[in-house]
Amino acid sequence: MFNLIVIIQSIVSGLLIGGIFALLGVGFSLTWGVMKVINIAHAAFGLLASYIAYWGLNLYGIDPILSLFLSLPLLFVTGLFIHRFLIQHITRSKDIIVASMILTFGLAIILENIMLLAWTPDERLITTSYSSKAIFLGDIIIRISNLLGFILSIIGISTIYLFLYHTKTGKAVRATWQDPEGAALQGVNLQKVSMIAFGLAIASSGAGGVALAYMYSFNPPSHNLWLIFLFLVVIVGGVGSIMGSAISGLLIGLITGLSNAFFPMQWINVLLFGLLMVILLIKPEGLFKK
């Protein structure tokens, strides 16, 4: 039962999934940290990209990775509009975090039901020509699609990292996050910078959504479960921390992978929710926050 192969196998697949959790969580963490907006609809946007990939594949035979060239710009622009016409209205409210949660809760409900209308509640699965192929390292199996999703996450997270640390706009985003008033005094256009950061965050959720769709079947309400993972990633990693999100994503993937091997299916989610509760109660500022 408890043999080494099973353990290594679950560690490997756990880490692969964890990378994707990290990619999904990075944007969520960014909006929460930079503009104090908790975007409940974050996972729903990711799911939207999964459905675009599903459609592209099944109707036109487009590879899911290629579909990102359509869905990511689309999500980015959607993000700009949402920030301009919705988020900016609540930035003056007394408690922006709570207000944004309610606002994006509404958005998530709308998105979920639009997806229900467009794609029905049936479970969908992205099946490409390489879905059934795998790499064998001794007795360890690595599925090509999982590996692709993982590579996608590494590219996505690195892009966001490079953007934040090596471009002017990115530096402005970080400045805004550390001290909005100071940044504004230095000539940073806060509205514009937040808008770009929001668009980028939503686009990154699209990449995460497609990567996750490679591994799990999905239907419109799936984003609710994804959201719990987002909260886990962000709260464990510390709000607003890119590296924290990356590490905590891998960690949570690892826990999921290992518990998949040793726990009955139906108790895994109880375990994860319980873990989130415990971490919130003990160390709400995150495990990796400096």
Partner 1 sequence: MIKGKAKFLLFFVILFLIILPLIKPPTYFLSLIFKIFLYIILSESWNLIGGFTGYLSFGHVAFFGIGVYTSAILMQNLGISPFIGALPAGILSSAVALIIGYPCLRLRGPYFAVVTLCFAFIVDLVVKNWNFLGGSEGIHLKLMEMDIQISRSIFYEIFLGLSILIVFFSRWIQNNKFGLGLAAIREDEDVAQTLCINTSDLKIKAFILSAFFPGIAGGIYAYYISYIHPDIVFDISISILIVLMALFGGGSSWSGPLIGAIILSIVNEILSLFIKPEFARIIYGGMFMIVIVFMPDGIVSFLKGERGK
38 lies in the site for partner 1, by CB under 8 A: yes
Task: Choose the stretch contacting partner 1; rule: CB under 8 A; options: 50-58, 65-73, 85-93, 145-153.
Answer: 85-93
Task: Choose the stretch contacting partner 1; rule: CB under 8 A; options: 19-27, 111-119, 136-144, 198-206.
Answer: 111-119
90 lies in the site for partner 1, by CB under 8 A: yes
99 lies in the site for partner 1, by CB under 8 A: yes
DSSP string, the chain: ---HHHHHHHHHHHHHHHHHHHHHHHHHHHHHHHH----TTHHHHHHHHHHHHHHHHHHH---HHHHHHHHHHHHHHHHHHHIIIIIHHHTTSS-HHHHHHHHHHHHHHHHHHHHHHHH-S--B----TTTT-EEEETTEEEEHHHHHHHHHHHHHHHHHHHHHHHSHHHHHHHHHHH-HHHHHHTT--HHHHHHHHHHHHHHHHHHHHHHHHTTS-B-TTHHHHHHHHHHHHHHHH-TT-HHHHHHHHHHHHHHHHHHHHHS-HHHHHHHHHHHHHHHHHH-TT-SS--
Footprint of partner 1 on 227-256 (CB under 8 A): 228, 231, 235
Task: Choose the stretch contacting partner 1; rule: CB under 8 A; options: 96-104, 155-163, 180-188, 204-212.
Answer: 96-104
110 lies in the site for partner 1, by CB under 8 A: yes
Least separation in angstroms between residue 113's CB and partner 1 is: 4
162 lies in the site for partner 1, by CB under 8 A: no
Which residues form the interface with partner 1 (CB under 8 A)? 38, 86, 89-90, 93-95, 97-99, 101-103, 105-110, 112-114, 116-117, 224, 228, 231, 235, 266-267, 269-270, 273-274, 276-277, 280-281, 284
